[in-house]
């Protein structure tokens, strides 16, 4: 074998430098990334009449994401649930099964969808409230309160979003909420709610109306609150008087009560890393959205807006893949550098390790009415896979962990905080790691490879869009004759698409690795 030429070694060094630079940039921009983005479109705003609930899960680079199904269970008398603050609360006799999409070791970065199609996911929203110790001392947290486990409890016990909101209110009234502030998005096949909670016992839930879209970017969004309107609001009983007591709201100076203005951490409410991606979602859904990004920076974004057209699933995917392309906030210079390296913090970012878009359709049986479109790592360089509720036997690569819930009898609480082996190790038997490495190599030479990568995923997704009607029509015909046969059919289809996505990711990864080995940095990569 002959050693590589000096020029080839030089090019290889440039590739290594570029890839290392992408990773370093990810760390430098990490403070822009540890945050999540959500988007909910009401049923009258979408082309097919579905509710679309989109959510990114963003943490530091290197998190590994696993998908598990936790079966429904019957619990012995006097069973309890462990809470992170040290408290235990009574368990119910029987709980529903649910999908748990989770990077182990993170407290809140998970999505939960139960067997009835009830979907829950959250966004951190810092509040003005005091530290945990002070809130607990004055009696607004019972033994540390309730935190990440709230959504699990709701998934285990509730069939509908409204039922979940009402149960959440009861639990918050009794135990109090542990995190500084958070929005819990709660969506079923008929309606959607956003529940905005403050550390302690203050909260407000607002129904997403059928003809509106809401977007969330790590700060409270609910503005006006009508505590008398029980159809559209569920609130803590002293929500307004408490804000007055703390000096956060003065009726004479402030006029009408504004929840976001009163309770949000003022820095978070006007932080450009939040306001601009919130504005971007509104602008992409309504090209005539009246506010500028400068006005968004002043904290003027509304709780909801109307799109200028009926939104399709493809368009919502495009929103979640966006990095300010087509706006003056795009700093990539037509992808001369990675669009993730943007000071305004795009929707699709370095630390996005999963994006889900949950398609909710009330006119179909729940087994096919709820579809979880799931993309691993940055969605701009990944593909969305349709997961039906029947697909509870998840392929090993998508739930692969050194120690998983399928291997042992661990409580969710124990597993949540006891990392399974080394979850951040690169394991190419794990789908999450394959997609993560692929995303890193794309980012190292984004402008020259993204057209090729998007083309590969476009073909993959086009097949699914074209097949969806046929697949679901076949499933409905089976369902009328044999429900179990219909479930097996949809489960097989889901698994086949998941495995196909992994096959494509490995194929793209091989191309990018071969390209790096041959020092092809800077050359345009196209589909042949």
- Domain spans, the chain: 6-517
What lies within 8 Å, CB to CB, of 480 at 6+ separation is none
Nearest to 145 by CA among 102, 187, 176: 176
Residue 27 pLDDT:
42
- Burial tier of 84 (Cβ tally within 10 Å: 0-12, 13-18, 19+): middle
Classify domain 6-517 by CATH architecture. 4-Layer Sandwich (3.60)
User: Can you count the helices (H) and strands (E) in the chain?
Assistant: 18, 18
Its pTM stands at: 0.92
CA angle 391, 347, 301 (to 5 degrees): 115
Residue 82 pLDDT:
85
Nearest to 415 by CA among 90, 152, 156, 94: 152
Q: Which spans in 248-373 are helix H? A: 251-254, 259-263, 266-269, 272-285, 293-297, 313-320, 366-369
Residue 277 pLDDT:
97
Residue 257 pLDDT:
97
Residue 523 pLDDT:
79
Contact yes or no for 208/40 (Cβ under 8 A):
yes
Tell me the backbone φ, ψ of residue 21, rounded to 5 degrees. Answer: -60, -40
Residue 176 pLDDT:
97
| Burial readout 489-528 (b: 16 or more C-beta within 10 A, e: otherwise) | bbbebbbebbeebbebbbebbebbeebbeebbbeeebeee
What is the maximal distance between C-alpha atoms in the chain?
83
Instruction: Give the integer Cα–Cα distance in Å for 185 and 202.
Output: 17
**What is the arrangement of strands in the sheet containing 38-41, beginning at the earlier edge strand?**
213-216, 38-41, 51-58, 352-360, 370-376, 385-388
Residue 415 pLDDT:
57
DSSP string, 4-38: PPHHHHHHHHHHHHHHHHHHHHHHHTHHHHS---E
- The residue ranges of the chain whose pLDDT is under 50 are 1-33, 402, 407, 420
Secondary structure of residue 343 in the 3-state scheme: coil
- What does the block give as tokens for 231? 């159809």
Our measurement of the distance from residue 30's CA atom to the centroid of its chain's CA atoms, rounded to an integer in Å, reads 17
Instruction: Give the integer Cα–Cα distance in Å for 217 and 125.
Output: 8
């Amino acid at each position: 074998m002959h050693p590589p030429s000096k020029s080839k070694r030089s090019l290889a060094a440039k590739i290594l430098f570029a890839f290392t630079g992408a990773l370093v940039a990810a760390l430098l921009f990490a403070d822009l990334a540890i945050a999540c983005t959500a988007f909910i479109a009401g049923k009258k705003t979408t082309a097919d009449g579905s509710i679309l609930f989109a959510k990114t899960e963003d943490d530091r680079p290197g998190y590994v994401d696993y998908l598990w199904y936790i079966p429904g269970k019957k619990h012995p008398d006097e069973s309890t649930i462990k809470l992170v603050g040290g408290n235990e609360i009574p368990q119910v006799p029987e709980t529903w099964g649910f999908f748990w999409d989770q990077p182990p070791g993170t407290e809140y970065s998970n999505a939960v969808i139960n067997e009835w199609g009830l979907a829950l996911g959250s966004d951190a929203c810092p509040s003005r409230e005091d530290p945990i110790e002070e809130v607990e001392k004055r009696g607004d947290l019972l033994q540390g309160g309730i935190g990440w486990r709230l959504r699990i409890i709701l998934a285990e016990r509730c069939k509908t979003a409204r039922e979940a909101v009402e149960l959440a209110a009861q639990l918050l009234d009794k135990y109090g909420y542990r995190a500084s502030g958070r929005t819990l998005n709660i969506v079923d096949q008929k309606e959607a709610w956003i529940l905005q909670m403050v550390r302690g016992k203050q909260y407000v839930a607002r129904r997403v109306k059928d003809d509106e879209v809401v977007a969330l970017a790590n700060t409270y969004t609910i503005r006006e609150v009508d505590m008398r309107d029980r159809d559209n609001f569920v609130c803590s009983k002293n929500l307004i008087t408490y804000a007055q007591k703390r000096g956060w709201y003065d009726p004479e100076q402030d006029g009408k009560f504004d929840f976001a203005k009163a309770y949000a951490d003022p820095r978070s409410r006007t932080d450009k890393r939040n306001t601009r991606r919130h504005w971007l979602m509104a602008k992409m859904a309504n090209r005539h959205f009246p506010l500028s990004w400068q006005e968004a920076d002043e904290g003027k974004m509304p709780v909801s807006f109307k799109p200028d057209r009926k939104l399709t699933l493809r368009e919502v995917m495009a929103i979640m893949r966006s990095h300010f392309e087509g706006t003056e906030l795009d700093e990539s210079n037509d992808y001369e550098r990675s669009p993730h390296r943007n000071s305004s913090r795009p929707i699709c970012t370095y630390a996005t390790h999963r994006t889900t878009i949950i398609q909710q359709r009330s006119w179909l049986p729940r087994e096919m009415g709820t579809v979880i479109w799931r993309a691993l790592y940055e969605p701009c360089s990944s593909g969305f896979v349709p997961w039906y509720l029947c697909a509870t036997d998840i392929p090993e690569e998508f739930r692969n962990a050194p120690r998983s819930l399928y291997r042992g009898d661990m409580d969710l609480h124990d597993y949540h905080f006891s990392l399974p082996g080394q979850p951040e190790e690169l394991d190419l038997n794990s789908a999450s790691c394959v997609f993560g490495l692929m995303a890193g190599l794309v980012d190292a030479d984004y402008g020259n490879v993204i057209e090729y990568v998007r083309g590969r995923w476009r073909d993959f997704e086009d097949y699914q869009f074209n097949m969806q009607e046929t697949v679901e029509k076949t499933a409905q015909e089976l369902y009328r004759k044999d429900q179990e046969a219909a479930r097996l059919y949809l489960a097989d289809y889901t698994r086949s698409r998941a495995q196909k996505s992994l096959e494509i990711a490995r194929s793209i990864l091989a191309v990018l690795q071969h390209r790096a080995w041959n020092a092809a940095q800077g050359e345009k990569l196209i589909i042949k």
